[in-house]
Amino acid sequence: MRKGIGSESARLFSQAKKLIPGGVNSPARAFRAVGGQPFFVAKARGSTLTDVDGNEYLDYVCTWGPAILGHAPRPVLRALRAVEPNGTSFGTCSALEVRMAQMISSLVPSVEKIRMVNSGTEATMSCIRLARGFTGRDLIVKFEGCYHGHVDSLLVRAGSGPLTHGQPDSAGIPKALAALTKTLPFNDFEAVRELFKREKRSIAAVILEPVPANAGLYLPQPGFLEELRHLCNRYGAILIFDEVMTGFRLAPGGAQEIFGIRADLAAFGKVIGGGLPVGAFGGRADIMDLLSPDGPVYQAGTLSGNPLALAAGLAQLEELQRIDGWKRLERKGRHLEQIFLEAIGKKPVCFHRIGSMFCLYFTRGPVRNLDDAKKSNTKHFAKFFRTCLQQGVYFPPSQFETAFFSLAHSHSDFEKTATVLTEAL
């Protein structure tokens, strides 16, 4: 068994803390919720991370979603090598942008027009501005525990890092702006109907992760997404799906395909960048046409449509199509689920999985919303996390994140993990 963080990681972390707030460039990475210190990665290949001290970890974070083929997949590296001699950024139009737009709109039928940005945060932020511009209304509805990046209007009762660190409403956001965001419990049909009845035609948009994956992982109850679609139609509000996590991961057409719901706008990221920084948002042409320079809603970006990111993303999507990756992931997921459930046995742990995303809550469940998720014993989670890490299995360092696996994860990886799970539980 390993003893814990290696000396080189420890040395780097102490240097990092002097110069980088918390020593990290994104709060979830700081291990605050699980104790200990983060390890520093030297190399990522397939299903494995190797740290600067030479320790190997079976990785179930998968760079928080993008690594769907595994780390450093050959088709992506090949594509990067092919485009890199032509330059790293053009700041103007390229054929890759047209190819990516064609790819996304062919996979996601609701996307009639698409624009590329650099992160999921930019994508959701742009959807909100566009929805307000289109409807001429100000109110936004979001759900407790859903996280849509660090956008001012959306950091209200947010999941992920804010929830992990006990600050679901961030400081620094004007009260007047936060007041324009109404939050509701996920899966609460009555609460949504009531709000629409009260606010009627003041609601610009409803934004949600169709499968909330930033407070652990829970699923929409049958009919919930349909009800949101119906209410948005009835009251003229825009339905925004944040598919930054689920897009191109659960299915070619993401959660919209799985649940058969067409969003008006959707935000994407992660998988479509092949591990490089990217985001995108798209949807109904009549809404997208309001964007500058065609319309009055402003949005722009120096690195938007970056050739390296697009080449990597296209290569990843083409490979997924070529090998029918989503079906393979589902088959792997069934195997993982079966042996994880065996390892869990009768212990008070609630296991959720959809496609290649999963989560263990330290409560019997059911978990259908943020309040249920918060019943999980986070001390038990932290202990579980540390035991797994010591055995070389890396889960997300927070109860309020989702775990991922990739096509590079083998059956023997899962079996090794199940053995570790049995011990850790």
Q: Which residues are the active-site residues? A: 147, 242, 270
* Spatial distance between the Cα atoms of 399 and 215, rounded to a whole number of angstroms: 7
Rounded to a whole number of angstroms, the minimum distance from the CB of residue 337 to ligand HOZ is: 22
Question: In this structure, what token pair is assigned to residue 209?
Answer: 């992760």
Pairing of strands 56-59, 48-51: antiparallel
Q: Is 347 left (phi over 0), alpha (psi -120 to 50) or beta?
A: beta
CB 180 within 8 A of CB 141: no
What residues contact residue 196 under an 8 Å CB cut-off, 6+ apart?
Answer: 203, 231, 234, 235, 237
Cβ-based nearer residue to ligand HOZ, 51 or 319: 51
Question: In this structure, what token pair is assigned to residue 13?
Answer: 């972390």
Residue linked to tokens 């849509």: 148
Cβ-based nearer residue to ligand HOZ, 28 or 370: 28
Rounded to a whole number of angstroms, the minimum distance from the CB of residue 402 to ligand HOZ is: 8
DSSP state of 155: -
Rounded to a whole number of angstroms, the minimum distance from the CB of residue 29 to ligand HOZ is: 5
* Spatial distance between the Cα atoms of 346 and 344, rounded to a whole number of angstroms: 6
| Residue number, nearest CB to ligand HOZ | 26
Cβ-based nearer residue to ligand HOZ, 372 or 401: 401
Residue linked to tokens 């009768």: 346
Rounded to a whole number of angstroms, the minimum distance from the CB of residue 116 to ligand HOZ is: 20
Beta partners for residue 242, in sequence order: 267
Rounded to a whole number of angstroms, the minimum distance from the CB of residue 278 to ligand HOZ is: 14
Question: In this structure, what token pair is assigned to residue 303?
Answer: 């690195």
* Spatial distance between the Cα atoms of 389 and 133, rounded to a whole number of angstroms: 47
What residues contact residue 334 under an 8 Å CB cut-off, 6+ apart?
Answer: none
Cβ-based nearer residue to ligand HOZ, 22 or 348: 22
Rounded to a whole number of angstroms, the minimum distance from the CB of residue 244 to ligand HOZ is: 9
CB 39 within 8 A of CB 55: yes
Cβ-based nearer residue to ligand HOZ, 27 or 75: 27
Rounded to a whole number of angstroms, the minimum distance from the CB of residue 302 to ligand HOZ is: 22
Q: Which residues bind ligand HOZ (CB under 6 A)?
A: 26, 28-29, 64, 160-161, 214, 401
CB 249 within 8 A of CB 358: no
Q: How many residues does the chain have?
A: 425
Helix axes 411-424, 378-390, angle to 10 degrees: 130
Cβ-based nearer residue to ligand HOZ, 137 or 353: 353
Cα of 240 vs its chain's centroid, Å? 15
Cβ-based nearer residue to ligand HOZ, 33 or 203: 33
**By 3-state DSSP, what share of the chain in percent is helix, strand and coil, each rounded to 5?**
45, 15, 40
